[in-house]
Structure 1
């Protein structure tokens, strides 16, 4: 599970929710993005499942979300793919050593061990 504490006070909260969904999908993990409520932030915290689907989303202001995170869903997404189709890490496994990142000193792509 990735916990992303944020304190968004501006109208770009929607973009942070999109990034939470993308992080959950790519890493095939639960993401809990906690945003500050009124008066500091705009609220709208989210719990996202390993397939990038929002399980719960708070409204603006202060609200508490409760969720049961079934870690077997992480295993299932990694084994069978997101929605039974996409396996981003194993699909990139063939690119090992081909993709290089000059901005990181030429480091190459290394998929996680579980892929």
Structure 2
């Protein structure tokens, strides 16, 4: 998958949230774009890494933990096949900055190509 600037042609939104902040952001985006929202929390907890049929463009809304996306999220994304996905955009909630998280996001996306 290749990163893209968040466009209005989003097909699917995925979120993971520990405190509810990322979920709130994802719900607002999904509502504005009238797109389906998938919560990764339950899939991660249950170990569900089965393939997910998606549209071409994905948005992943996650918190920033230690200047990167949570390890459980990057592991889940790495193990899950997104059928039909060609592009991904990461939206990260944070207190003051995401540090070098964009580098991790890019590397994770490149592995999915």
User: Structure 1-normalised TM-score?
Assistant: 0.29
Normalized per residue, the structure richer in strand is 2
User: Structure 2-normalised TM-score?
Assistant: 0.29
User: Greater RCO between the two (CA within 8 Å, min separation 6)?
Assistant: 2
Larger radius of gyration: 1
Normalized per residue, the structure richer in helix is 2
